[in-house]
Amino acid sequence: MSTAVLPPSPSVPAAARVATGDAPRASVAQTGVWIGIATISMSFAALTSALVVRQSSAPDWQHFQLPPLLYLNTLALLVSSATLEISRRRRTVAALNATLVLGLLFVFGQVLAWRQLAAQHLFLASGPRSAFLYVFTALHALHVLGGLGGLLYVQRRLAGAVLAPTTFKAAALYWHFMAILWVYLLTLLTIRG
Amino acid sequence: MTHGVATSHAPPRPQSFLRRHVFSVDHKVIGRQYLDLALVAVVTGMVLSWIMRFHLGWPETPVPGLGKLAPTGAAGGVITPEYYLALMTMHGTIMVFFVLTTAPFAGFGNFFLPIHVGAEDMAFPRINMMSFWVTLVAFLVLLSAFFVGDGPPLSGWTAYAPLSAVGKDAGPGQGVGQTLWAISIAIFCVAQLLGSLNFIATTLDLRTRGMSLARLPFATWAWFITSVIGLVAFAVLMPACILLILDRVAGTSFFIPAGLVISDRLQPHAGGSPLLWQHLFWFFGHPEVYIAILPGFGIVSQILPVFARKPLLGPRVFITCLIAIAFLSYTVWGHHMFLSGMNPLSATLFSVPTLVITIPATIITLLWIGTLYGARLRFTSASLFALGFVSVFVSGGISGFFLAQPSTDIYLHGTYFVVAHFHFVMGVAAMFGIFAGTYFWFPKMFGRMMNETLGRWHFWLTFIGVYCVFMPMHYLGLAGNVRRYSAFTDEYLQPLIPLHRFITIAALFTGAVQLIFLFNLIRSRLRGPKAPDNPWEATTLEWSTSSPPPHDNFGGRQPVVSHGPNEYGNAGPRDYVMQADPQ
Amino acid sequence: MGKLFAVVVTVIALVSAAIFAFHVWWLPPDISTHGVRIDRQMNETMVVAGALFVLGQLALAGFVWRFSAGERGAPRPVKSFPGGPTPLVVLATVLVGIEILVLTFVGSKVWADVYQTPPAPGALQIEVLGEQFAFYFRYAGADGKFGAMHPEMMNDATENFFGLDPANDTTARDDIVVGSLVIPINQPVVLEMHAKDVNHSFYVPELRIQQDFVPGLVIPLHFTATTPGKYELVCTQLCGLGHYNMRAFVEVKTQPDFAQWLKEKAAAL
């Protein structure tokens, strides 16, 4: 068997990449977020089918009123999406700070909603609907906290004027997805009352 | 190479030992770390299987030294029924997750995918580093189950509820051990998702100039498709594990119905569905086995042309078949559940795509065989394992015909026929893919050649050995030998014990043969002859750079690709064209 | 090396196939009415699978033998597979496709016969309880009705396996509970499977039936046995440490013997 060694093939130094506006690396952030959205959606889809199956497998589905605080929290999250868009289009730090505050208020509000549930003696193990309510709100809030971390990173770079627009767009994409996901989860829990 | 952007593409070479070899963001280091982890895992998993097989052949004979290592599970060196099942659970879990999902995919994929696409690193190097360390944490959490409470769980790698969900009443190992298992797997899911994120983003966004998707190497296509499968599959397993943990520790009843009496105790649960666990688990579990095998398809398709000195037959057909398999893999999960109590009509519905998946798998096998037609085959350890892969994959795939049909599955479900099937495709074929990849890529990864003589002995003894271990299991299954039994006390099983002993001896022998491979790995790392850039005369981008590659993969030069990966068998003094060769 | 590979693969393929073909290890004789169709499906699949297995391995072996790089002389040029990938795609799709259609068309009927058709009217009803680590069987007794099961009353020590309450439940008083499945030949039997604790499974190789027990569900399974004898019934769903030992016997009796047995059991209550 021939083991002739050939010289490494030449390649063109510093060849131009196909670049559209931003450096290629920045657009990778958006791809990453889309992939993240796909994964997270899939996880909640699995939990949705678990909910549907669980509801139909036994007659013990509870019919309690969802704490109204949840709707207030929803409003906070939706407004935070609006402020984020304002911040992104106008590159203003103030609107971004508003988003961060509203996001924190949302998470805090979710924890308060748990307290309200507990006051009605609705706990994780009380029954399937309350179980799913806790699981959905907890998992969603964890992902929101992750999103807040990303927004803090964005805020730092925006303040230092080194934020690429595509990075901002990627972070905003994730944040809006958090809002859409939450509206979906709340709707699911409401119609499956 | 700058375009007016402040950040350079890859970070500069770190200086400290820790940042270069331990907490490194370099995809090549991460790939090697995954491979090292898989090596530790496979040795662990194999030793567990030796103990199991020895017990099955000679249930009353003590294993020397085992009594000291496991005083409860193996007092006097003879393992208890529960310890057998615990070892079996850990064997399956370690092999499926920490060997077959790491080595061929995270291991070789991390090392070579960025190089194959012509990039300097993965898209998200720090997340990539995290994915390895999170995998390692998952592995350590799993192993800790050996050392806690009453040992590892005994519910199998499939952990069916309610056995896995009710807690310690269900048996030894079902307390803390099972919870640690569920936590470990949930952590593993996170790691895999981070890994998939990198593979997909890198393949889509970081391809160098001229590297269109159509010119991607076959292994890269396989890794890309595998990571898409994983993205969906692991995203389902993780919430399933969370729900299982909640049933175990928080008093919920996702999977546990009312009225269960276990250990004379009425369980305080109600309303849950055991079948829900099975659906969630297998919705992950079936795609998972394609995650285990598809990288092997890619590696074999990459290697065969190199040693056949002619292009892979039907490259576009091959890619289409990979994609078809990926799609179909999500439609078949119920074939693990024909007899589970689910609606019998769905059995027929699941069986159709299960059989249909045979078509792309058969096409791919025929493409490999067709590639050999008219070839000028060179036999090296790498090519022998690639050729052996075709043989064992045929063997493993064919038994699927019986299990895909509900009518024949009535008899064969839960028997050793199933064990034969999945071991051939996963324990043998996927392993052969890993071996082939190792022999092929070792020179590139470590800059040294492996010993060919040792490699050939490894191949021949392993090839014959695995057939001796796993082919007889089909016969056991046809005779009705039930699986997951720690001992064979049933009357109708007594005549089969000699066959079990044959299998045990073959398994111990084949296991011992792997020492040749281990020895070769270590000796070649330390003293192997220096490897040239392109010892196999192959075309893909890794062979255009040094062995091992420099820190940024191409030595400051960005490759420009003008050719596909499949240009072998040309007339003239040099019978191949490298991807980075000029037009 | 190529020739060695070809020889080894050929030997392995032919020896393995022969062991299948000569039924060196095989299914036990079938004793059920539906089993003959399952066995036919098994045999047909074996022929198809066997042919594909042998042909595939021989093709691999043959090509490796023929197309190894020779040591002597100038290297011959490589040849492409005639027709490219198309003939192989067509071959695979048509061959495998037809086989899939045939197997599914016939096999789905075999399956439906066992799992999707109701039991014959007048079938003998027997309840089966799967628990860690034994099977118990219940006959309805003279009143033809099964007493209710109360999980909180299940007690293995007092042999109240099914959790019956004969003191308050008249239908439970004549229920016959035994540790073997005793059935008559040529009589449709329908089993109702209850799981006390975790998943189990009911498997009798000779009867060609298998069915999981699922906690929370009651799952019916029906068949008709044709040959008297004693057969092993084993658990095939991992249920805990005693899984390997979880077994019972199926005693298939002639109809007079079965009637006699039932009478004796009822009298002993």
DSSP string, A35-53: HHHHHHHHHHHHHHHHHHH
pLDDT digits (tens, 9 = 90+) for B314-328: 999 999 999 999 999
C75 and chain A in contact, CB less than 8 A: no
B5 contacts in chain A (CB < 8 Å): 22-23, 25
> Mean pLDDT lowest for which of B9-23, B77-91, C132-146?
B9-23
8 Å CB contact of A131 and B246: yes
- Which of residues B58 and B10 earns the better pLDDT score? B58
C125 and chain B in contact, CB less than 8 A: no
Residue length, chain C?
A: 269
Nearest chain A residue to B2, by CA: A14
pLDDT for position B14: 75
C72 contacts in chain A (CB < 8 Å): none
Residue whose pair of structure tokens reads 């492996």 in the numeric block: B450
Helix (H) or strand (E) holding B442: helix B431-446
C77 and chain B in contact, CB less than 8 A: yes
Domain boundaries defined on chain C? 2-68+82-115, 124-268
CB-nearest to B407 from C5, C110, C155 is C110
A58 contacts in chain C (CB < 8 Å): 216
C241 and chain B in contact, CB less than 8 A: yes
**Rounded distance, CA A145 to CA A149, Å?**
6
Is residue B333 classed exposed, middle or buried when 0-12, 13-18 and 19+ CB atoms within 10 A define those classes? buried
Closest CA to B28 of B112, B106, B104: B112
pLDDT confidence of B9, banded at 50, 70, 90?
A: low
For residues B376-401, give the mean pLDDT: 97
**Rounded distance, CA B363 to CA B381, Å?**
25
pLDDT confidence of C69, banded at 50, 70, 90?
A: confident
C69 contacts in chain A (CB < 8 Å): 1
A1 and chain C in contact, CB less than 8 A: yes
A50 contacts in chain B (CB < 8 Å): 239-240, 243, 254, 276, 280
**For testing contact with chain B, the best of C53, C231, C243, C250 (most B CBs within 10 A):** C243
Predicted confidence (pLDDT) at residue B5 exceeds the cutoff of 70: no
B484 contacts in chain C (CB < 8 Å): 238, 243-244
Predicted confidence (pLDDT) at residue B520 exceeds the cutoff of 80: yes
- Which of residues B537 and B71 earns the better pLDDT score? B537
CB-nearest to B408 from C8, C38, C91 is C38
Interface of C with A in 144-163 (CB under 8 A): none
Percentage of chain B exceeding pLDDT 70: 98
pLDDT confidence of B10, banded at 50, 70, 90?
A: low
Give the C-alpha distances (Å, rounded to integers) separating C144 from C58, C127, C163: 61, 12, 18
8 Å CB contact of B162 and C215: yes
C68 contacts in chain A (CB < 8 Å): none
Nearest chain C residue to A58, by CA: C216
CB-nearest to B3 from A19, A36, A53 is A19
A22 contacts in chain B (CB < 8 Å): 5
The CA distance from A127 to the nearest CA of chain C, in Å, is 17
A11 contacts in chain B (CB < 8 Å): 544, 554, 557-560, 580
Predicted confidence (pLDDT) at residue C254 exceeds the cutoff of 70: yes
8 Å CB contact of B480 and C28: yes
Strand, coil or helix: B486: coil
CB-nearest to B407 from C9, C111, C216 is C111
pLDDT digits (tens, 9 = 90+) for B335-344: 999 999 999 9
- Which of residues C90 and C73 earns the better pLDDT score? C90
Predicted confidence (pLDDT) at residue C140 exceeds the cutoff of 70: yes
8 Å CB contact of A57 and C216: yes
8 Å CB contact of B486 and C211: no
pLDDT for position A2: 35
pLDDT for position C73: 61
pLDDT for position A19: 31
For residues B494-511, give the mean pLDDT: 98
pLDDT for position A11: 43
Domain boundaries defined on chain A? 27-52+70-191
What does B244-291 look like in DSSP terms, one character per residue? Answer: HHHHHHS---SS--S--EETTEE-S--S--HHHHHHHHHHHHHHHHHH
Considering chain B, what is the average pLDDT of its residues? 95
> Mean pLDDT lowest for which of B353-367, B500-514, B543-557?
B543-557
C119 contacts in chain B (CB < 8 Å): none
B482 contacts in chain C (CB < 8 Å): 203, 234-236
Tokens linked to C265: 């059991």
Nearest chain C residue to B275, by CA: C214
8 Å CB contact of A28 and B236: no
Chains with 3 or more CB pairs under 8 A to chain B: A, C
The CA distance from A53 to the nearest CA of chain C, in Å, is 14
Q: Which positions ≥6 away from A90 have C-beta within 8 Å?
A: none
For B17-257+268-544, CATH number? 1.20.210.10
Nearest chain B residue to C55, by CA: B394
Superfamily of domain C124-268: Cupredoxins -  blue copper proteins (2.60.40.420)
Q: Are B226 and B198 in contact (CB under 8 A)?
A: no
Chains with 3 or more CB pairs under 8 A to chain C: A, B
pLDDT confidence of A27, banded at 50, 70, 90?
A: confident
C244 and chain B in contact, CB less than 8 A: yes
8 Å CB contact of C69 and A1: yes
Strand, coil or helix: A4: coil
8 Å CB contact of C45 and B401: yes
B415 and chain C in contact, CB less than 8 A: yes
C216 contacts in chain A (CB < 8 Å): 57-58
The CA distance from A30 to the nearest CA of chain B, in Å, is 9
What number of other Cβ atoms are within 10 A of residue B359's Cβ? 21
Give the C-alpha distances (Å, rounded to integers) separating B108 from B101, B222, C117: 11, 12, 51
**Rounded distance, CA C252 to CA C181, Å?**
8
Pick the CATH number of A27-52+70-191 from 1.10.443.10, 1.20.120.80, 1.20.1640.10, 3.40.50.300: 1.20.120.80
CB-nearest to B533 from A8, A54, A128 is A8
Q: Are B292 and B104 in contact (CB under 8 A)?
A: yes
pLDDT confidence of C71, banded at 50, 70, 90?
A: low
Q: Where are the alpha helices (DSSP H) in B23-80?
A: 27-57, 66-69
